[in-house]
Amino acid sequence: MDEHESLRKHLERLLDWEDAHVNFDTAIDGIPVELRGVAPDGLPYTLWQLVEHLRLTQFDILDFCRNAAYVELMAEGYWPSSSMPPTSTAWEESISSFYRDREELKQLALDPGVDLFGRIPHGTGQTYLRELLLVADHNAYHVAQLVAVRRALGIWKAT
């Protein structure tokens, strides 16, 4: 395996691994429906807001990587407007979309036709490598917040 292939495999794993911290899959496992829209005392967000923010932001970065007609969201577009899922299926739909987009980002990382160090043609100097690392970093940050909210709600079991 050459260095570029090794980097691609590392990026693929980085998008959902659990080596140094909890991953998204573990952080959302078993969250009761009735607590998805509850903000614990002292914290400004709910589990729903964090899950949906993760989905929206990850999709936005994926869209930037692959869409020459990409238009950046306004700041408020990265967070849901409500503290709880707006429909009974919104939670599952958000998680399914997150997983689907994460798989597409992994495929982007693995695609030998994508120059990871090359600039995104419609960007302002960003590289594909930067964007993939940005997704992994951003997701890790907010997954930690999911754990913090779950702890504050008394629904986190350390593994």
Domain range for 19 is 3-153
Please check whether residue 131 lies inside any domain of the structure: yes
**pLDDT average, residue stretch 17-33:** 90
Please check whether residue 87 lies inside any domain of the structure: yes
Q: Considering Cα of 28, then 34, then 36, then 40, what sign does the dihedral take?
A: negative
Say if CB 147 and CB 52 are below 8 A apart.
no
**pLDDT average, residue stretch 78-104:** 96
Which residue in 36, 72, 43 sits closest to 56, CA to CA? 72
Please check whether residue 126 lies inside any domain of the structure: yes
Please check whether residue 158 lies inside any domain of the structure: no
Please check whether residue 141 lies inside any domain of the structure: yes
Weakest mean pLDDT among 70-74, 137-141, 149-153: 70-74
**pLDDT average, residue stretch 67-96:** 93
What's the pLDDT band for 159 if we cut at 50, 70, 90?
A: low
**pLDDT average, residue stretch 38-54:** 97
Give the chain's largest Cα–Cα span.
50
Please check whether residue 159 lies inside any domain of the structure: no
- Residue 53: which CATH number? 1.20.120.450
Please check whether residue 74 lies inside any domain of the structure: yes
**pLDDT average, residue stretch 15-35:** 90
Which residue in 16, 24, 44, 47 sits closest to 154, CA to CA? 47
74 pLDDT higher than 90 = no
What's the pLDDT band for 67 if we cut at 50, 70, 90?
A: very high
**pLDDT average, residue stretch 28-54:** 96
DSSP E strands, the chain: none
Please check whether residue 89 lies inside any domain of the structure: yes
**How far apart are the C-alpha atoms of 149 and 152, rounded to whole Å?**
5
pLDDT of residue 21: 83
Domain count, the chain: 1
Weakest mean pLDDT among 19-23, 38-42, 112-116: 19-23
Entry field: residues in the chain: 159
